[in-house]
A and B are shown apart, each in its own frame.
Chain A
């Protein structure tokens, strides 16, 4: 039986053959090891990253937590030692009140129900509740923490999120030259956006969502058109 190799479209159950690979192989999302072989567990395109990382590039909306990923969540319960955060996974994530910068037992962080939190997943196991932290290993918050007021949160597909997070994202680069905006992208398919006005926020959100179907060479034109729309009003 012929297995799928890099660049192929795979469906769950397909045998994946990692040919011509030497050394240690890392199986990313969408691949699972069953005995001797490797099988696909998602529909998508089989891809290879650096350091022999193999994964399936799929279009899904349901977020499955993975350790180390930065996600955006909404606080649903801010009492007690562990706050509850809705990150779109099957189970709500928890975050300790001590997992914020400068938080001590006497100095509780100011977190309210409904706040948007940007955190990193510390524990993400299929048998356990995911746990978030809002500090790095040095106790600094960096970009994590509760996001300020005045933004807007919307959801998109996980595929689009990964597209936005690529090191050179033509859309954000082109938009950034023309407009001032703050954008926080969570790997769970949520995007937080803040600009100067409602109209700008709606247009940038629109551009981000339209980016899902834009080719790289179309981006500059789309952004020009957006700025034209904005200035003509």
Chain B
């Protein structure tokens, strides 16, 4: 299936909106979508979602003969799988341009920057080394695949543990996880990718582009940055008029982003190891068991706009409603009714609604505050 065409009016509208510093989903120009990382039951399995974009990462290992040119180094393979599940226009089987580009970018960012200590993966020089294979499956494509995939790659690699081995006179013994504690990979630094979409001849830059933004943008600028604020990869696709100021501006944003993302990965890893230590249930299965099959997903509106209309209740924060009783939100989850002497039956019902769903009200309130800021 061909990639669906974007109509001229969508393109023109997006460009106009971007030049007015508005984005279709209500984000600011430098706002990222929500990033969440979840680890599976096995070591080296993780799922990362950035907004609606979702990537599943899985690391596996096997023992192989090393390359003749590097006899004392382990191997690292990165493989990005684009399937029609991610987007209907992705094809299985043959490699498309986008999958090669994704693969190469990740290799540049992770492999070429020597993020993994490959020498520690050597068992017998020239004979046996560990071959680490990183598979990334795109579960859903809603823009900015590279950022999501790079976070998934790093999280999966940091989570992975290989079995312990021992060389004896009889041969090589590979210990099961139950016998000897598996060993994590040696990770020297933590590179992730941060992408920027550039519009209107370099005048407007947005971070974390959505799919439509990606396709309309003149150029996409991807920076590989690690948690120590070091640059480990630069890629510019498309063409635009850019100068050193743009590069520097993007680099500064990317550095800040990398620090926060790496902190999030570490935090999630720590939580996961705590769960593993306490022997409680963990993994993706838990999300399904929590009640709904969509526990993993985020609610989707086709054109999600930040300043959403409060759907459930619309009682508070309204000055123009003189006839209504005033409802005051005191703190999280508590709602108090003021001036309740003239309570009509219908308002009472509405207030009951507010009390039942205080969370919704809160979201609506905070959204309003955001709105004031961005306008």
Interface residues of A (CB under 8 A from B): 74, 76, 86, 112-116, 147, 149-156, 192, 198-199, 201-203, 205-207, 209-210, 212-214, 218, 221-222, 224-226, 228-229, 233
Contact = CB atoms under 8 A, between A and B. Distances in A.
A153 B302 contact: no
9 contacts: A114-B11, A147-B9, A151-B13, A152-B9, A152-B10, A154-B303, A209-B301, A212-B301, A221-B314
B16 interface: yes
Contact of A112 (B8, B16, B20): B8
A206 B305 contact: yes
A199 B12 CA distance: 14
Nearest to B17: A198
Given A149-B12, A198-B16, A209-B302, A74 B308 contact: no
Contacts, number: 89
Contacts of B314: 218, 221-222, 225
Given A86-B4, A206-B307, A218-B314, A149 B9 contact: yes
A202 B17 contact: yes
- Most chain A CB within 10 A, of B11, B302, B310, is at B302
A233 B375 contact: yes
Pick the 4 closest A-B CB pairs, nearest first: A114-B8, A152-B13, A233-B375, A206-B305
Nearest to B19: A198
A199 B24 CA distance: 10
A153 B17 contact: no
A153 B11 CA distance: 10
Contacts of A114: 5-8, 11
Contacts of B318: 225, 228
B228 to A, nearest CB: 40
A57 B320 CA distance: 38
A154 B302 contact: yes
Given A206-B303, A213-B311, A224 B10 contact: no
A224 B5 contact: no
Contact of B9 (A151, A213, A224, A225): A151
B196 to A, nearest CB: 22
Interface in B291-330: 301-303, 305, 307-311, 314, 318, 320
B111 interface: no
Nearest to B313: A218
A227 B167 CA distance: 75
B20 A198 contact: yes
Q: Among B11, B16, B303, B314, find the residue whose CB has the most chain A CB atoms closer than 10 A.
A: B303
Given A74-B5, A147-B9, A233-B375, A225 B22 contact: no
Interface of B: 4-13, 16-17, 20, 22, 24, 26, 301-303, 305, 307-311, 314, 318, 320, 371, 375
B38 to A, nearest CB: 26
Contacts of B4: 74, 86
A202 B22 contact: yes
A205 B309 CA distance: 11
Contacts of B303: 154, 205-206, 209
Contacts of B16: 198
Nearest to B24: A202
B9 A116 contact: yes
A30 B20 CA distance: 44
A116 B10 CA distance: 10
Contacts of B20: 198-199
Contacts of A218: 311, 314
Given A112-B8, A206-B307, A222-B310, 8 more contacts: A147-B9, A152-B13, A210-B308, A214-B309, A218-B314, A222-B314, A225-B318, A229-B371
Contacts of B24: 202
B35 to A, nearest CB: 24
A209 B300 CA distance: 11
Given A202-B24, A233-B375, A150 B12 contact: yes
Given A201-B13, A206-B308, A218-B314, A115 B302 contact: no
A198 B309 CA distance: 18
A226 to B, nearest CB: 7
Contact of A210 (B7, B12, B311): B311
Contacts of A214: 309, 311
Nearest to B13: A152
A91 B73 CA distance: 52
Contacts of B305: 202, 205-206, 209
B311 A153 contact: no
A207 B310 CA distance: 10
Contacts of B10: 152-153
A224 B321 CA distance: 10
A192 B12 CA distance: 13
B9 A153 contact: yes
A154 B10 CA distance: 8
Contacts of B11: 114
Contacts of A74: 4-7
Nearest to B307: A229
